[in-house]
Structure 1
Amino acid sequence: MHELGITQNIVAIVSEYAKGSKVSRVALEIGKLSAIMPEAINFCFDICTQGTLLEGATLEIIEIPGLAKCRQCGAEFTIDKPFGLCKCGSVHLDILTGEELKIKEIEVEEVCV
């Protein structure tokens, strides 16, 4: 399960950007073509955040659909696999979206003094 390593990296990156502040929410974009299972990331998140600034934080996962463009006719269409066939019969496609793994937002708690 490579999602455990990915989640550990996400926690490390968010912790670095939080600069010592408690994190209350993390939003991720995960492409449907990325071979990353959102359910596994969600499961690993609770485990990986224990004892960190992210412990108790809410994880929001935004799934990005696959979108391809045909090199032959220029048509754009959705795909659910990293390969496909255009209506014109071409298999020469450029993947436009769906391979993402991005930390979209982090929300930190601000301490008022």
Structure 2
Amino acid sequence: MHEMSVATSLLDIVREELGKHEVEKLLLVRVRYGALANLVPEALEFAFEVLTTGTDFEGARIELVQNPVRLACGGCGREFEPEGRELLFSPCPACGEEVGHTVLSGRDLYVEHIEAE
């Protein structure tokens, strides 16, 4: 379950940011992740809860927001958001090409927002 190491890294980032702004109580962390980030949201939420229990971050919430996948067609270059389960092999809506697409977004994982007091 790599979500535990992801949660650890996210909390390290949060702790560093809180130190810069002289605040101590973490209320909320909003994390954006791409649909191709190989992340199980429920597992990350669980890992966050486990890692914050008994710490100064206990009671903080994590909010996860999924970013869509955006591809550029390998045939005609059109940018599009694929539909269905086979994200990387979705046909281009302009020319129908199914392979050779370039991933423009959807692999990302970052802290978007921190609320603290």
TM-score range relative to shorter protein: 0.7 to 0.9
Which of the residues 73, 77, 81 maps onto 1:74?
Answer: 77
Would you identify which runs of 4 or more consecutive aligned residues in structure 1 move more than 6 Å? none
1:46-65 deviation per Cα after TM superposition (whole angstroms, max 9, x unaligned): 10112333211111111111
CA distance in structure 2 between the aligned counterparts of 1:95 and 1:81, rounded to whole angstroms:
13
Q: 1:37 offset after TM fit, Å?
A: 1.0
- Greater percentage in helix: 2
Query: Which shifted more, 86-95 or 7-16?
Result: 86-95
- Greater percentage in strand: 1
Identity %, equivalent residues: 33
Question: 1:3 aligns to what?
Answer: 3
RMSD value over aligned CA atoms? 1.7
Aligned pairs for 1:1-113 (under 5 A) are: 1-19=1-19, 21-79=24-82, 80-81=85-86, 83-87=88-92, 88=95, 89-109=97-117
CA distance in structure 2 between the aligned counterparts of 1:39 and 1:28, rounded to whole angstroms:
13
Q: 1:69 offset after TM fit, Å?
A: 0.9
Q: 1:90 offset after TM fit, Å?
A: 4.7
CA distance in structure 1 between the aligned counterparts of 2:62 and 2:102, rounded to whole angstroms:
31
Amino acid at match of 2:5: G
Please list every run of 5 or more consecutive structure 2 residues that lacks an aligned counterpart in the other structure: none
CA distance in structure 2 between the aligned counterparts of 1:5 and 1:28, rounded to whole angstroms:
15
Structure 1 length-normalised TM = 0.85
Q: 1:25 offset after TM fit, Å?
A: 0.7
C-alpha change, 1:82 and 1:90, in structure 2 (3 Å) is closer
Q: 1:9 offset after TM fit, Å?
A: 1.0
Structure 2 length-normalised TM = 0.82
Please list every run of 5 or more consecutive structure 1 residues that lacks an aligned counterpart in the other structure: none
CA distance in structure 1 between the aligned counterparts of 2:16 and 2:56, rounded to whole angstroms:
10
